[in-house]
Structure 1
C-alpha cells in the first residue's frame, strides 16, 4: 500500500521519545450491489491515519483511525455514537519485550486468536450484512457502551497468548451534551448487563503451514468457548471455526452455537474464496432453528492497488440471495 508520510523523516519529540511518524493511507470502491430485488450503484472513499513512534528505551507505540471515526457525532435518537475521540473507534497501542497492549475499539482475545471467515465481494461482505463476521461475545463492537476495551498479546516461540477485557462501567451517552459516566436514565430496568465486565482469554499455536486456537469469553451470565484452525496446502487454504455459547440471548431466543468453514484458492492474480456458516438458536417456546449462509467470490488483482472483485451470498437471515461486483482500491 502506498503511503504519504506527513513526517518524511522524523518529528523529534521531548521526554525520551526518539522519533514519531504519521502516515496517511486510504481505500475506495465503486460497483453495483444486487439486494435481492434491485441493482444499485455503490461507492465510497475513506482515509486512514496511522501514527507510530519509538522511545529511546525501545518501546514502540502508535495508533490508527479513519477520518470518519475521529470526532463525536450525534445520532437521530440523540445518543452519541462511536468515535476515536472517545476511544470507541480506532485504537492506540504500546509494545515491547513483554508483549503488546492495545486500547480502543479492539477485537476480543477470542477474535484475535481465531478471526472471521473469508471476506468475499468487492464490498468485503458488506452487501450481505457482513455475515462472514462471527458474532464473538466480546470486543469489536460488542460492549461498546462501556467505552474503550483493552487487548494484550504475547508471543513466545510458536505460541501466542491473548487477553482482553472491558472495564465494566456503563458510559453510554444520553442525549446532546451528556457527560461520560453513569446515568441512571440510560440503563435498562433491572440487571444491566452493560455494567458487567466482559473478558476473554485465548491461546494460539502456529506451525509451518497451519495454526490452531482455543478461547474462552465471559460477559455477565453469557459465556463462549471458541475453537479455530486453518491450514494451507500449496495454493489452497481451509479454515474451520466453532463457537459454543451458554446463556447468550437475542431477545427471548438463546443462541447455542456458530459453526463455519472457509476455503480459498490462489493462482497468480486470481483468488477464489468461499464460506459456509450455521447458527443454532433455541427459540422462545421450546423449538430450535438453524440459520445457514453460503458465499463464494472471486478477485483479480489488476496491480497498483486495484482489484476487480465480485461475490454471491445466500443467507437465511436475509431470506434472499444477494450479489455484488466492482473494483476496490487501496492507496
Structure 2
C-alpha cells in the first residue's frame, strides 16, 4: 500500500512539473568605451551632484540574467512571471543592480496578455522604436525618440507599479498601460499610455499616446518603417508634454553574410542636460554588428550625442 501511495505521489508531482517551466536567459557584454569629458555619479547617472571625473576611455561590461517561470492551466491560459538581475560597470566602478528587480506577472491566451507589476509599457514596446541603435552599449540611445519618458521594464532602480493589456493579431497589435508613481521620485506622476501598430505590404505603422503631468515625458510617438531595397529604414517622430519635437531617421543593412551596419540621425528640439543646460539639437551615429557564431557577436560604433563624441567596441554573447 505504501508503494502505491509513493508511486501515486510521484506521478502527481511529475505531472505538476510537466505543466510548469522555469528558464534562464540573458546576455553578457564587455569591451572598451570612449566618452568625451566623461563623468559618472554613484547613482550611475551623469549630471548629478555626486559626479566624479572619469577617464575618457575605460572598460565597460554588463551581465543580465532573466528568470522566467510559466505554467499552463487546464483551460489553456498561460500564467508567468519574470524577474531580472543585472550588474553593470563603468569607469567609476558602479554596479547597477546586484539584486533581483521587481517582477512582471502576466496571463496570456489567444493573443491577449494581461500583465501587472514591472510592466513593459505601451510606448517603450512600440516596433522600431530602438531601430538604428549603434555600438556595443547603444552609446546613449539618443535615437530613441521617447527619451525613456515612458514606462519600461526596469532593470535598475525603483520600478513603477503598473498594469497593461496587449492584444496581438496577425497584422495588428494594441497595447495599453498604466502605472502608479514611485513615491518621492522626480516625475512621480502617474502615466497612462496606448499604442497601436499595423503591418502591411512590408511596412509597419505605429502610433502611441501617453497622458502624464510630467513635462519631459513623451506625449505622442509616430513611427513608419519598411524595407527599401537591401536596407530597413525607419522614420520616428515624438513630442513631449512640454511641446518639444524630436525626429529620428534610422537605417540598417546587411553588407556581408554575417555583418550588419546601423546608422541614425536625430534632431531633438528639447535637448538639455539633467541640470537644464541646452545642448546641440543634432545627434548621429554609425555602428556595426558581426556575427561570430554561438550567439556571440563583435559590435562597435561611434556617435555624436548633441555635440559630445562617444565610441565603443566589444563582444556581446546571448545565453
**Which of 106, 110, 114 is the equivalent residue of 1:97?**
110
Find the counterpart in structure 1 of residue 315 from structure 2: 327
Deviation at residue 218 of structure 1 after TM alignment: 0.7
CA deviations over 1:2-54 (Å, ceiling 9, x no partner): xxxxxxxx9644xxx97111111231122211222632222333322122221
**Which of 65, 78, 87 is the equivalent residue of 1:60?**
78
Find the counterpart in structure 2 of residue 299 from structure 1: 289
Find the counterpart in structure 2 of residue 197 from structure 1: 190
Residue 193 of structure 2 corresponds to residue 210 of structure 1:
no
| 1:133-212 map, 5 Å | 133=144, 134-140=146-152, 147-167=160-180, 170-172=181-183, 186=184, 194=188, 196-212=189-205
CA contact (8 A) 2:85 2:99 kept: no
Find the counterpart in structure 2 of residue 231 from structure 1: 226
Find the counterpart in structure 1 of residue 275 from structure 2: none
CA contact (8 A) 1:93 1:103 kept: yes
Find the counterpart in structure 2 of residue 27 from structure 1: 27
CA deviations over 1:174-225 (Å, ceiling 9, x no partner): xxxxxxxxxxxx488xxxx62x431011211111411101121111275612
Residue 250 of structure 2 corresponds to residue 262 of structure 1:
yes
CA deviations over 1:269-303 (Å, ceiling 9, x no partner): 011001111111399xxxx9752210100111001
Question: Bigger CA drift: 133-142 or 24-33?
Answer: 133-142
Determine helix, strand or coil for the equivalent of 2:142. coil
CA distance in 2, matches of 1:34, 1:290: 19
Gaps of 5+ in 2: 1-12, 38-55, 88-93, 273-277
Residue 63 of structure 2 corresponds to residue 45 of structure 1:
yes
**Which of 270, 282, 304 is the equivalent residue of 1:281?**
270
Structure 1 length-normalised TM: 0.71
CA deviations over 1:252-272 (Å, ceiling 9, x no partner): xxx511111110002420110
Structure 2 length-normalised TM: 0.73
Determine helix, strand or coil for the equivalent of 2:284. strand
The number of equivalent residue pairs is 270
**Which of 240, 244, 259 is the equivalent residue of 1:245?**
240
Residue 261 of structure 2 corresponds to residue 272 of structure 1:
yes
Gaps of 5+ in 1: 1-9, 70-75, 173-185, 249-254
CA contact (8 A) 1:117 1:261 kept: no
Could you say if the C-alpha distance between residues 129 and 31 of structure 1 is closer, same or farther in structure 2, counting changes exceeding 3 Å?
Answer: same
CA contact (8 A) 1:50 1:65 kept: yes
The alignment yields a C-alpha RMSD, in angstroms, of 3.2
Determine helix, strand or coil for the equivalent of 1:119. coil
